[in-house]
Amino acid sequence: MITIIMAEDHQMLIDGVKSFFEYDETVNIIGTVNNGEDLVKLVLLKQPKLVITDIRMPKMDGIEATKIIKTRLPHIRVLALTMFDQPDAIKQMLDAGASGYLLKNSGIKMLSKAIVTVAQGETFFDPNVAFNFMNDYIDTNVTVGKSEKVLLSNREKEILNLIANGKTSKEIAEALFIAKTTVDTHRKNMIRKLDLKNGNELVKYAIDKKYQF
């Protein structure tokens, strides 16, 4: 189990991430905070396996918080989740001790990959920032996220949006004036196209697209 404390001053993002991982048996978000000072206090108290933190936050930024956490508890892994793609910000965060750097617009599926990678002791880079910094981490196991573009039909996008809103296949069929079996076929096709395992993962994917970072 990967225990996580997340620091982010936008509560909507926290709620979206918590919703996505609510039924994930490998990830447990044991605490959330909205500023750097509270992050340090909660991490020292609960000692999670992984910290996810933004850079710009009230009271104390993510860089300073990461420095303190890594000094006091060097075994805890830190993943930066931020909007900042400037080289200076990335370098400061990595120098502070972060083991991963992910941009918020990468989507929650890549966040899931980053969490597992960093928790395993490896380094994870967002593909949009990776190649400027990989050489500095040549002695570590580095994973670069992959931007996967999947083409869904307009009908599939409609159905995906309704799935994200909690609609059943029957309700979707009634809303779109199509047969339930047609909806089920579209679900199966999307699972195949998106390289997902089952319907539960399709629901998670739908929520990801609804709560886009």
Q: Are 114 and 104 in contact (CB under 8 A)?
A: no
The answer to whether the predicted template modeling score (pTM) of the entire model surpasses 0.75 is no
**pLDDT, tens digit, for every residue of 55-65?**
999 999 999 99
Does the pLDDT value for residue 114 go beyond 90?
Answer: yes
Q: Rounded mean pLDDT of 141-145?
A: 63
DSSP, collapsed to helix, strand or coil, labels residue 54 as: coil
Confidence band (pLDDT; 50, 70, 90) for 139? very low
**pLDDT, tens digit, for every residue of 25-67?**
899 999 999 999 999 999 999 999 999 999 999 999 999 999 9
Does the pLDDT value for residue 191 go beyond 90?
Answer: no
Dist. CA 161–CA 58, nearest whole Å: 34
b/e burial code for range 58-91 (CB count within 10 A of at least 16 → b): eebbbbbbbbbbbeeeeebbbbbbbebeeeebbe
Q: Are 207 and 201 in contact (CB under 8 A)?
A: no
Q: Which domains does the chain have, with CATH numbers?
A: 2-144 (3.40.50.2300), 154-210 (1.10.10.10)
